[in-house]
Amino acid sequence: MNKDAPRVLHRVADAWQSATFGLTQMYQASQVAPSNGFEVFRIDTAAPNDVVKLDFGPIVFYVPERPNRRGPDLFVVAKGWLTFEGPDFKAVPLRTKTFGTEVAYFRQKAGNLEHVYGAHYDMDEEKPGHPVFHAQFGSKEAFGSAVLDLFKRDEAIIDRTGVILGTVRTPSAQMDIFSVLAQICADHLMGPSPSPEVKKAFQGLRSSCDFLVGAAHRLAYLNAHHAAGCYRAVHWYDAPAANA
């Protein structure tokens, strides 16, 4: 284990507390469980010594499906990991090396929890044809157990995701857990005409996520001149050499 792992854990946990405070400021009836950043994130002691890897989750967010609803009716479960690269873990910001995030959405309906969306967000720098950052969709029905456990509920879980082709890799942004948190707030807590208070809270939440930079900083094909001002999906692939 890297000697700076506890320092990194503290920085990430502090950022998490600030970011989730922004979530509750945007919509006071929303909830996050567990609420303590030191319960959310754990040091992976088996990680190589030149990186710090944190595992997280399961985390459950309880939010309204639409911002104008009176009470929360949607559970979002997330789990995965986030790895930072050195050698200087005291520098600001921390630098992402790799990540993996799984998410599952459950809607309250007719006394049941309906699983309505599942995906994992991943990163691959080596396999030809794999976008460096990508999403793959599929059922995450088993994540419903985290809702039942952390929120002390006993509803039946019904899978509504249907048959999804799991071999489709959609190019995406870096969807680490802090990016997912920002997406949840933008999708479910910010309506088309948000109040100044909600805008301010979301701005604070976004600022709390600035303690890290994405892995794209070290990938030449995402920083090439033709890509930097464009960022269409074609730039998410590392084109193999013609003579490889």
CB 78 within 8 A of CB 59: yes
CA 148 to chain centre: 21
Give the pLDDT of residue 242: 60
Contacts of 31 (CB under 8 A, 6+ apart): 24, 61, 62, 72, 151
Give the pLDDT of residue 74: 97
The residues with which 48 forms a beta bridge, in sequence order, are: none
Confidence (pTM) = 0.94
**Per-block mean pLDDT, blocks of 10 residues, the chain (244 long):** 96 97 94 96 96 98 90 96 95 94 96 96 91 96 98 96 92 96 95 92 94 93 87 83 58
Q: What percent helix, strand, coil does the chain show, rounded to 5? A: 35, 30, 40
- Locus of tokens 């084109």: 239
